[in-house]
Amino acid sequence: MDPYDKEKTREIWKRVLGEEESCDCRAFDSELLRQMIAEEKTMVCAYRSLARCAAGQSREQLRRFGEQTLCHARKLEAVYYLWTGERACASSKEVPRFRCFAEGLRELHGRETASAARLNRTAEELPDYAEVFYTAAQEKTCRAEALLRLLQNCLAM
């Protein structure tokens, strides 16, 4: 027997324990989590792209936001692995192109707000990892507020 064959190993344990295999019915689909990871990676690229258009303190802030978002993607990948036992293998989607700096800030603000709401819903659906999702949602909300301030400063000029 191949000890790495999941199906055969599962069948043996089922016979050894003498019980039915529990139904792994979860309200949350692993594909949705993989899509969230891909969205995070796309946002990392968008932050880096927008940072190249910024100057001074705004540039550093956007770079930092990109690094924080990358950290979120890695945490979500770890949760995915813990939850499914498989690697997420999610890559970034097509990076949005912005006509101007203000439009980029506006787009990222909307994405951060939507992502925070999605993370809060996910925390309720995967209670074992709720702390990770709630923390990430809170950080995204703070980042959305910071993007709003950057946008206000951009439009005031």
As a whole number of angstroms, the distance between CA 120 and CA 16 comes to: 39
Q: What is the pTM of this model?
A: 0.77
Residue 16 lies in a domain: no
Residue 70 lies in a domain: yes
Residue 18 lies in a domain: no
Straight-line distance from the first to the last Cα atom of the chain, in angstroms, rounded to the nearest whole number: 70
Residue 135 lies in a domain: yes
Residue 137 lies in a domain: yes
Residue 7 lies in a domain: no
Residue 97 lies in a domain: yes
CA 93 to chain CA mean position, Å: 13
pLDDT in tens, 74-121: 999 999 998 888 888 878 788 888 888 999 999 999 999 999 999 999
Domain of 65, in residue numbers = 28-156
pLDDT for residue 9: 67
CATH code of the domain containing 57:
1.20.1260.10
Structural domains counted in the chain: 1
Residue position matching structure tokens 């910071």: 146
Residue 152 tokens read as: 């206000």
pLDDT in tens, 45-63: 999 999 998 888 999 999 9
